[in-house]
């Protein structure tokens, strides 16, 4: 865009022209944020190293088509008596400049590949490329959205693109560079047009609003630049809409309503409520922002942006001095950066990032956003895995009475979070299953030392005494795991345990296995998840490189083969087989008598050492 924008008439016929067209760049100097590309083209033109094709790629609205026209103008720049060669210094309007910029020059052909996708359209270009330009120096073909061409069209273009006539140049533009065949990319010089920085975008919007005599504050321009996401065209379209909405004067509140944005200060307040565990106040704040027109998805996006800003301030304090950061964000962001740990901020970022997708996909955005805030507020009080392991190593129960209650929430010296016993009792009969909130319990933030400013410490209730309960399932072997899978009617897991796992080591809460060759890659993790679901306890199932014992199925097969071998060698069976040629032993079933069942049921009667001490002889 122009550095010095002047007010221009709407058009010769009096029709209104949108700002994106009215202030469209006409020279390389007018392009905002594309200095590396301009420098490359300038050096190429000065040395005569002009390529036969260029590929312009980037997100929407960064100026790909405009750059293509300016490049075509530079290739055909001609001022009688002053300039007669390609250049990037387009100081004054040349012979062909106006027609090229308006898209009506006979030798600069623009084609939309979205509506001309076939080989027939490319064949017309190939046939016409043999003829010299009518008036200009080069015949330039500008193909927009080139990734929309069919495979046959791309293949038909390859030969001409590699060895075009000297008077032909190609300029391609696309937003989907990955869909362009590599055979085409290798024949072009590629330029990636970057998103425009917010500071430059704000300056561009300020110059255009001044030229249009529109009164608008810097904060409103910042909101438009943020919503434009680095796209000049999107930002100018929003400015156009704001001008129509405000009738010559653009107020921040009106702009927020138009864009469906929340007040930035209110977003910061919402962030403070969440990080302090004040879920009731957080839900009320979201409801208030929704009632004044804020989109729940936009509110969560703003929360994620502020979380990102606080994280950057913590790891790179100089980022607070950027021009796009408001004074409120700078002051309160530094306050949060001092009190919150990177682990907590990273966890909040992940929850918000997933939450934005859930709100977009939900038929009830406000309800979905409420659930995301509840999840975030309660997660702010949870310890991270490192702290859990440290508490376990120190012999403390991280979710039981070993937690340290705190009136206002005290942070460890490392800046992490500490699990609270208050409001987070263990569920009975499920040790190690993680914290569960009681009805009406409120999360208490311990990541911020002393809580938020002007926050009184809430009275703490004494932790309820816990009653030790026997585990519902006492697993001691893979046989027990297979039986538990059978009880829960999970036949695929039972088969996997019996046929695809070789046991290396079995301990309470930890199982080491060696999977078979046909086992799925995630069999260990799947078994751990199933056992946790069935028992309510955390089981670590790890894959070991140590050779394990045979699988349950292999042991059963070996036992069956041994029974068959013993049966065949029995004199009675051998006599029967000799009397009936062709007969064979198919299966052996062992019948268990009542005495055997009693022996199996009583481990003392089945103990050989005890039997020897009592004088019991096996032959008896």
Rg of the chain taking only CA atoms, in angstroms: 37
Give the range with max mean pLDDT: 112-116, 377-381, 399-403.
Answer: 112-116
Among 439, 389, 440, CA closest to 419:
389
For 299-316, how does the pLDDT look when each residue is reduced to its tens digit (9 = 90+)? 899 899 899 999 998 888
29: pLDDT strictly greater than 90: no
Contact 225, 324 (CB under 8 A): yes
Confidence tier at 385 by pLDDT (50, 70, 90): low
- With residue 192 as reference, give the H or E element that holds it: strand 189-192
**Tokens representing residue 103 in the block:** 């898209």
589: pLDDT strictly greater than 80: no
Instruction: Tell me the CA distances in angstroms from 520 to 178, 187, 455, 503, 552, one per residue in order.
Output: 32, 44, 53, 16, 17
Confidence tier at 592 by pLDDT (50, 70, 90): low
Mean pLDDT over 73-87 rounds to: 87
Among 192, 191, 201, 196, CA closest to 223:
201
Range with lowest mean pLDDT among 60-69, 147-156, 383-392: 383-392
Mean pLDDT over 381-392 rounds to: 67
**Residue 51 backbone dihedrals phi, psi, to 5 degrees:** -70, 165
Mean pLDDT over 507-531 rounds to: 86
**Residue 582 backbone dihedrals phi, psi, to 5 degrees:** 90, -10
The set of long-range contacts for 216-222, using a CB threshold of 8 Å and a minimum separation of 24, is: 216/242, 216/249, 216/250, 217/250, 217/251, 217/252, 219/252, 219/326, 220/250, 220/251, 220/252, 220/255, 222/198, 222/324, 222/326
414: pLDDT strictly greater than 50: no
147: pLDDT strictly greater than 70: yes
**Tokens representing residue 455 in the block:** 């926050």
Q: What pLDDT sits at residue 432?
A: 40
User: Considering the entire predicted model, what is its pTM?
Assistant: 0.52
211: pLDDT strictly greater than 50: yes
On average, the pLDDT of the chain sits at 78
Mean pLDDT over 360-383 rounds to: 86
Residue 147: CA atoms inside 13 Å, Cβ hemisphere, count?
13
- Pairing verdict, β 249-250 and 501-507: unpaired
Q: SS3 of 67, please?
A: helix
Contact 39, 98 (CB under 8 A): no
């Amino acid at each position: 865009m122009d550095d010095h924008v002047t007010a221009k008439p709407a058009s010769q016929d009096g029709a209104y022209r949108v700002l994106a067209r009215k202030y469209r760049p006409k020279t390389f100097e007018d392009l905002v944020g594309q200095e590396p590309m301009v420098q490359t083209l300038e050096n190429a033109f000065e040395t005569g190293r002009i390529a036969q094709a260029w590929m312009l790629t980037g997100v929407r609205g960064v100026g790909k088509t405009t750059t293509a026209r300016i490049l075509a103008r530079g290739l055909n720049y001609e001022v009688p008596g002053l300039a007669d060669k390609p250049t990037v210094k387009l100081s004054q309007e040349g012979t062909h400049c106006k027609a090229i910029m308006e898209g009506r020059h006979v030798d600069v052909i623009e084609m939309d590949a979205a509506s001309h996708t076939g080989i027939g359209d490319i064949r017309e270009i190939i046939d016409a490329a043999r003829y010299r330009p009518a008036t200009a120096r080069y015949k330039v073909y500008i193909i927009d959205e080139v990734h929309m061409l069919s495979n046959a069209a791309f293949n038909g273009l390859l030969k001409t693109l590699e060895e075009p006539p000297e008077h032909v140049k190609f300029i391609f533009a696309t937003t989907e560079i990955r869909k362009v065949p590599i055979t085409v990319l290798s024949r072009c010089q590629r330029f990636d047009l970057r998103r425009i920085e917010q500071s430059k975008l704000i300056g561009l919007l300020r110059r255009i609003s001044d030229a249009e005599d529109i009164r608008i504050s810097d904060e409103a321009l910042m909101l438009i630049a943020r919503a434009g996401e680095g796209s000049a065209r999107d930002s100018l379209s929003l400015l156009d809409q704001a001008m129509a909405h405000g009738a010559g004067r653009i107020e921040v509140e009106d702009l927020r309503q138009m864009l469906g944005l929340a007040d930035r200060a209110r977003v910061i307040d919402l962030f403070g409520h969440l990080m302090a565990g004040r879920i009731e106040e957080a839900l009320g704040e979201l409801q208030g922002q929704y009632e004044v027109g804020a989109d729940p998805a936009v509110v969560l996006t703003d929360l994620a942006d502020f979380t990102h800003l606080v994280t950057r301030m913590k790891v790179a304090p100089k980022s607070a001095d950027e021009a796009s950061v408001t004074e409120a964000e700078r002051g309160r962001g530094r306050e949060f950066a001092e009190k919150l740990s990177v682990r907590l901020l990273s966890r909040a970022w992940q929850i918000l990032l997933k939450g934005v997708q859930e709100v977009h996909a939900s038929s009830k955005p406000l309800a979905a956003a409420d659930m995301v805030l509840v999840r975030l507020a309660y997660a702010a009080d949870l310890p991270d895995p490192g702290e859990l392991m440290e508490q376990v190593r120190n012999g403390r129960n991280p979710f039981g009475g070993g937690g340290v209650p705190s009136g206002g929430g005290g942070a460890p010296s490392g800046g992490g979070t500490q699990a609270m016993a208050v409001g987070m009792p263990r569920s009975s009969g499920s040790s190690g299953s993680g914290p569960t909130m009681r009805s009406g319990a409120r999360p208490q933030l311990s990541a911020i030392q002393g809580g938020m400013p002007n926050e009184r410490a809430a009275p703490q209730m004494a932790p309820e005494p816990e009653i030790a309960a026997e585990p519902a399932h006492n697993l001691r072997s893979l046989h027990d795991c297979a039986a538990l899978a059978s009880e829960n009617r999970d036949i695929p897991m039972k088969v996997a345990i019996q046929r695809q796992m070789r046991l290396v080591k079995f301990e309470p809460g930890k199982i080491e296995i060696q999977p078979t060759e046909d086992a799925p890659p995630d069999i260990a993790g799947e078994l751990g998840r199933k056992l946790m679901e069935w028992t309510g306890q955390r089981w670590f199932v790890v894959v070991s490189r140590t050779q394990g014992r045979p699988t349950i199925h292999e042991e059963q097969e070996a036992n069956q083969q041994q029974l068959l071998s013993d049966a065949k060698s029995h004199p009675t069976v051998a006599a029967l087989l000799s009397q009936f040629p062709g007969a064979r032993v198919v299966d052996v079933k062992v019948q268990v008598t009542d005495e055997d069942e009693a022996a199996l049921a009583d481990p003392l009667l089945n103990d050989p050492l005890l039997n020897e001490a009592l004088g019991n002889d096996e032959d008896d």
